C-alpha cells in the first residue's frame, strides 16, 4: 500500500460543499469505507457529531447511511464541539468518533474529522486503510446485519459537566465578567452554560447560528467584535472559540489579543515544576521560544497541525502544546485540543493567582510577525521554485539570526502562507512584500 494519501489532509478531509470528497455520494461511500475498516478491526460502533453548518444535515444523513450499509451502529450527537465528540466517544465506549466540520472555514466548506476509541486523531495507517476501502466496490451487508442508528439526547449536558470538572481553582468565577464569542458554531449551547454554572457574569455573543453565519465576522479567527464588546462591557476578558470549538483565543480587559502562544506560556509558567518542556509549531513566535527557555524548559517546534504537536508531546511525555492559532493541548485534562477546557485552565490560574490576564502575559514579549496568505490554484510545490528558495535564504542571512522566514502550503485551504518575524517591523516589512510578490509571480 502506498504511504501517500489521496483524500486526507492535515486534519481529515475538507473541501467546498459539493466538490471533491465533500459531496453526498462521496460522503456516503466514505461512511461505508470507514465502516468496513471498523468491521475489519472487529469493531461495530461510531459516534457522529457536527457543527452548525446547514450542509451538516446532508452529510450527517449520508454518513449514517454509509455506516449502516457496512453493518456499523451509529450514535448521533447533533451539533457538538469537536472535542466533545472525542470525549463522548470514550465515555460511550464507541469504536470511533466522526465530526462533520470545516472548523474555522466559512459555511460554504465542510469536512470530516476522525477520532479513535481513545478520543485521539486517527493514525496515518488507518487513514490509508479507509482510502483503500473507498476505492473498492461498495458492498452492502446482508439486511439482517445492517447497523442501527440512535440519537443521544443528553450529550450536551454530559459534556458541560465534563468541562466544569476540569476547572481547578479554589474559588469559582463569581465576580468575573466574561464575554464569550461562540462563532455561531458548535459551542453556542455549551460554552455559555459552562461559564454561567461556574459563577461568571457572562455576556454571550455570536450564539445564534442559522447554518450560514458560522465564523462570519466572529470567533477565534476574527476578534474585532469580541474586542469591541469587551471594551464596551468593561469585562475582565473575552474568550473566542472557532466554529467547531477546538480553538480558543482570549482578549484582555484592554482589548489586546492573547493567542495560543501566550496561552502556552501561561500554562508552562504555572506548571514548570512538573513539566520538562512544551511543544509549539513552525508558526510559534520566536518570543515564545525565548520565554520558555528562560523558564528552564525545553521547546520543540513541529509541523503545523495539532496532530504533530500531539505526537511531540507523546514522544517526550509532556503535557502542554499549542499552535498560535489557538489549538491548545492540555493532556492532563483531555485527549485532544479543546477550546473550552483550555480556556478554563488559563482562567483557573488567573483566579488562583488573583492576577489579570494582561499581568500574567507580561513575562513574554512577542517578536513582530507578519503573515500574508496568497491564494493559489491547484496543488503547488514550493521546492520547485529555485528563485523563491534563494530569496528566503537571502532574507534570513540579512536578518542575521534576529528573525526567521517560513513559507508553507496550507493543508486545509488553497493558500501559500508567507510568514516573517524579526526584532522590528521595519526589518520584516520589506521582506514580506518581496516574498509575497515572488510567490504571486511563481504560482498565481
Q: Which of 39, 100, 106 is nearest to 73 (CA)?
A: 39
327 — phi, psi (to 5°)? Answer: -75, 115
Q: Alpha-carbon distance 140 to 65, whole Å?
A: 11
DSSP annotation of 418 reads E
Q: Which of 83, 44, 80 is nearest to 60 (CA)?
A: 80
The CA-atom distances, in angstroms, between 414 and each of 89, 131, 378, 394 are 32, 22, 7, 26
Q: Alpha-carbon distance 5 to 131, whole Å?
A: 8
Q: Alpha-carbon distance 89 to 117, whole Å?
A: 6
Q: Alpha-carbon distance 253 to 182, whole Å?
A: 19
Residue 250, classed as helix, strand or coil, is: strand
* Grid cell at residue 423: 526584532
Active-site pick, 101, 103, 325, 335: 103
Residue that the C-alpha cell 509571480 belongs to: 441
Q: Which of 178, 17, 173, 224 is nearest to 109 (CA)?
A: 17
CB 70 within 8 Å of CB 35:
yes
Q: Alpha-carbon distance 388 to 283, whole Å?
A: 19
CB 340 within 8 Å of CB 359:
no
- Residues, the chain, total? 444
Neighbours of 62 (CB within 10 A): 21
DSSP annotation of 381 reads -
Per-position DSSP letters for 260-308, written without gaps between them: HHHHHHHHHHHTTTT-SEEEEETTS-HHHHHHHHHTT-EEEEE-SSHHH
Is 103 known to be catalytic?
yes
| Angle, vertex CA 77, rays to CA 76 and CA 83, nearest 5 | 130
For 165, residues 6+ apart whose C-beta sits below 8 A from its C-beta are none
Catalytic residues: 103
Amino acid at each position: 500500500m502506498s504511504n501517500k494519501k489521496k483524500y486526507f489532509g492535515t486534519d481529515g478531509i475538507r473541501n467546498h460543499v459539493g466538490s471533491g470528497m465533500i459531496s453526498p455520494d462521496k460522503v456516503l461511500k466514505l461512511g461505508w469505507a470507514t465502516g468496513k475498516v471498523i468491521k475489519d478491526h472487529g469493531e461495530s460502533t461510531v459516534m457522529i457529531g457536527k457543527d452548525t453548518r446547514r450542509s451538516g444535515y446532508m452529510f450527517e444523513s449520508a454518513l449514517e447511511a454509509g455506516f449502516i450499509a457496512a453493518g456499523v451502529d451509529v450514535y448521533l450527537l447533533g451539533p457538538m464541539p469537536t472535542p466533545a465528540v472525542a470525549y463522548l466517544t470514550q465515555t460511550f465506549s464507541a469504536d470511533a468518533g466522526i465530526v462533520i466540520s470545516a472548523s474555522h472555514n466559512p459555511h460554504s466548506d465542510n469536512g470530516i474529522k476522525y477520532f479513535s476509541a481513545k478520543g485521539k486523531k486517527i493514525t496515518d495507517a488507518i487513514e490509508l486503510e479507509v482510502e483503500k476501502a473507498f476505492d473498492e466496490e461498495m458492498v452492502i451487508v446482508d439486511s439482517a446485519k445492517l447497523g442501527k442508528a440512535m440519537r443521544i439526547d443528553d450529550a450536551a449536558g454530559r459534556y458541560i459537566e465534563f468541562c466544569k470538572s476540569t476547572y481547578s481553582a479554589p474559588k469559582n468565577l463569581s465576580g468575573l465578567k466574561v464575554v464569550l464569542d461562540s462563532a455561531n458554531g458548535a459551542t453556542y449551547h455549551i460554552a455559555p452554560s459552562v461559564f454561567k454554572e461556574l459563577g461568571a457574569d457572562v455576556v454571550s455573543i455570536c450564539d445564534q447560528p442559522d447554518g450560514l453565519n458560522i465564523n462570519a465576522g466572529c470567533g477565534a479567527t476574527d476578534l474585532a467584535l469580541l474586542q469591541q464588546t469587551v471594551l464596551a462591557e468593561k469585562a475582565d476578558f473575552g474568550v473566542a472559540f472557532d466554529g467547531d470549538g477546538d480553538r480558543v483565543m482570549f482578549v484582555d480587559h484592554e482589548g489586546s489579543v492573547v493567542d495560543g502562544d501566550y496561552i502556552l506560556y501561561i500554562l508552562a509558567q504555572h506548571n514548570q515544576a512538573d513539566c520538562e518542556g512544551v511543544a509549539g509549531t513552525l508558526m510559534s513566535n520566536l518570543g515564545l521560544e525565548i520565554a520558555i527557555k528562560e523558564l528552564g524548559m525545553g521547546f520543540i517546534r513541529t509541523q503545523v497541525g495539532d496532530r504533530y504537536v500531539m505526537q511531540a508531546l507523546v514522544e517526550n511525555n509532556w503535557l502542554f502544546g499549542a499552535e498560535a492559532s489557538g489549538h491548545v493541548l492540555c493532556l492532563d485534562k483531555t485527549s485532544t485540543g479543546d477550546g473550552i477546557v483550555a480556556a478554563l485552565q488559563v482562567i483557573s490560574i488567573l483566579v488562583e493567582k488573583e492576577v489579570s490576564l494582561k499581568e500574567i502575559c507580561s513575562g513574554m514579549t512577542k517578536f513582530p510577525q507578519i503573515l500574508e496568505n496568497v491564494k493559489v490554484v491547484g496543488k503547488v510545490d514550493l521546492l520547485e521554485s529555485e528563485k523563491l528558495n534563494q530569496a528566503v535564504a537571502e532574507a534570513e542571512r540579512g536578518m542575521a539570526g534576529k528573525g526567521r522566514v517560513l513559507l508553507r502550503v496550507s493543508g486545509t485551504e488553497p493558500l501559500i502562507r508567507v510568514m516573517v518575524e524579526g526584532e522590528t517591523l521595519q526589518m520584516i516589512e520589506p521582506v514580506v512584500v518581496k516574498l509575497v510578490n515572488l510567490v504571486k509571480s511563481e504560482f498565481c
